Structure 1
Amino acid sequence: MITDPEIDGDWDTAQGAESPERLTPRERARGGPGVRPWLWALGGLVVASAVWAGGLYAFGDRLSEPTLSYRPSKNLCEDFKARTLSGLTGDLHKQRPMNQESDHPAVYGAVCRLNNVEGMPDFVVAAQVDLHKKTDPSTEFDVPPLADIATIGDVRAEAVSDLGERAVVLTSFGGTEQKLKVLDGGAVFTVQVSVSTYNEKNGRPATDATAVQAAMIEDMRALMAALRK
């Protein structure tokens, strides 16, 4: 006949855990009957929280405000002389330049646009400076510009050494569109050249994409030097 199990003091939940001497090897391996599963879960939560906090601390440097090494430009067309590029196409400042600035709490931006002739220019240069006040721009610097991909298709990227923290030239198929981007001291500098042809045109002598790229790099160095604090 089956009877109700006897309940003695060993089942009293108010008592402490069994001593190690009274535990079976299996119970000792599991931590003993006095160890509750939620304690193991709590231990895992503490470890996971520590790892998450450590990761957030490591990522905090990128979320903190960068130290800007460059000053804002109130007139980028005055700071961007474009002397080397002008040597290829004629004085780019002869035509009236277009200059714009935007002072946003997160990013200070300035743009200068230069043309070689009036009307329908065949050689257009645009310079841009973005000073990031809130976050480090290095996290997004290597992302291909979506606007460029949408307008000119795939671009070829080539790293440039000894220029800022990181620098890259993006070139369209055929080389008629070139963009030089430089990351340095919390700022992103851009010089872009668009040409309709590298042949002689409008009094501009024939040139090639390699010479234009070298000129962009030299004029970029001069612009960065002009805006450095």
Structure 2
Amino acid sequence: MIGDPELDGEWGPAASAPAEVVEREPGRLPVRARTRPWWWVAAAVVATSALWAGGLYAYGDRTAEPEIRYRLTDDLCGQYKAPTLEGLLGGLPDAAAEAGSRHPALDWAACSRSSDRQASGRVFDTRATVELHKKIDPAVEFALDTPGSRMYVYDGGAWESVPGLGEQALVTRPGGETESGLRLRVRDGGAVFAIDVTIFDVRGEGVFDPRVDPLPDPDREALVAAAVEDARALMTELRTS
């Protein structure tokens, strides 16, 4: 009858007992001292801890509160003067401030400035919006083409980078020659700035008056350069550190 190694104290055809076998005492069965696999348990623990720590680190980075280096006021028009755009577009005297809202996660405010000569057959409008993201870093979603931003991208247009402005800046690239207006977006820490420029051609009987001097027709490069300068000026006005 073939004996059970656990019972007989033998391991394999060689009858000599390994070091792990403890000599049995009289009247007791031999007991094998089981090899403890601590080396791979320890390795698994270390690997799991490393993965967990790495995941926690990445998760913490995503959810860490972003640095806020700017302030907001209820009357953003006090800081958004848009002098470069105003000089390029022939005046933007009509101003309207929007206090927006204050929230533990997000503060925002806006200011619109527009021309007042509809009789010239054209109206210019620029709007500055400032958002302070206090809980979630806006960098993750900044470059996404959101529905609100799509309003400024026509006929297959896209976004192009603007160097030297904040941590990241994008401006709409036109998709057609007839497209007018633009959106400039700037991210710096937890702050996101948007400068929108819209050009309306006024149509309709009794609106156009040929005696009124026409408003200028700026090219895109000049419009982008003016928006960049006014965005930089606004950021300087609101900068706290």
Q: Report the TM range for the smaller structure's normalisation.
A: 0.7 to 0.9
**In structure 2, what is the Cα distance between the partners aligned to 1:116 and 1:194?**
11
5+ long unaligned stretches in structure 1: 12-17, 21-32
Structure 2 Cα separation of the partners of residues 57 and 148 of structure 1: 32
Alpha-carbon distance, 1:152 to partner: 4.4
Distance apart, 1:79 and its partner CA: 1.0
8 Å contact kept, 2:152–2:181: no
- Change in CA separation of 1:183 and 1:117 when aligned onto 2, cut-off 3 Å: same
Structure 2 CA distance for aligned equivalents of residues 177 and 10 of structure 1: 89
Look up the equivalent residue of 2:76 and give its one-letter code: L
Equivalent residue for 2:161?
A: 159
Who is 2:51 aligned against? Answer: 51
When normalised by structure 2's length, the TM-score is 0.72
Q: Does 1:210 align with 2:221?
A: yes
Q: Percent identity?
A: 37
* Alignment partners' CA distance in 1, 2:122 and 2:40: 72
Letter in 1 for 2:91: D
The Cα RMSD (Å) is 3.2
Supply the distance in 1 between the matched residues of 2:190 and 2:215 (Cα, whole angstroms).
37
CA distance in structure 2 between the aligned counterparts of 1:10 and 1:55, rounded to whole angstroms: 48
Normalised TM-score (structure 1): 0.76
- C-alpha distance in 1 between matches for 2:194 and 2:140: 17
Q: What's the secondary structure of 1:47's corresponding residue?
A: helix
In 2, the alpha carbon distance for the partners of 1:151 and 1:179 equals 6
SS class of match (2:197): strand
Q: Secondary structure at the residue paired with 1:190?
A: strand
Establish whether residue 179 from structure 1 lines up as the match of residue 153 from structure 2: no
| Bigger fraction of residues in helix | 1
Shift of 1:167: 1.1
Q: How far does residue 169 in structure 1 lie from its aligned partner after superposition? A: 0.9
**SS of the residue 2:182 aligns to:** strand
- Unpaired runs of at least 5, structure 2: 11-17, 21-33, 202-211
1:56-113 Cα offsets, whole Å, 9 max, x none, are 2144233111221101122112210011111122221x22424232112101011112
Aligned residues: 206
Contact 1:88–1:204, Cα closer than 8 Å, also in 2 = no
Structure 1 residues 138, 181: CA separation in 2 closer, same or farther (over 3 Å shift)? same
1:156 is displaced (CA, Å) by 2.1
- Quick check: which has more Rg, 1 or 2? 2
Mapping 1:82-121, distance limit 5 Å: 82-92=82-92, 94-117=93-116
CA positional deviation for 1:122: 2.8
The residue that corresponds to 1:28 in the other structure is none
Residue in structure 1 matched with residue 14 of structure 2 by the alignment: none
Conservation of the 8 A alpha-carbon contact between 1:149 and 1:155: no
1:5 Cα shift?
Answer: 4.2
Deviates more, 1:123-132 or 1:59-68: 59-68
Partner Cα distance (2:2, 2:143) in 1: 73
Could you list the per-position Cα deviations for residues 124-153 of structure 1 after superposition, in whole angstroms to 9, with x for gaps in the alignment?
211100011112111211112233336745
Give the Cα separation in 2 of the matches to 1:178 and 1:19.
81
Residue 78 (1) aligns with residue 89 (2): no
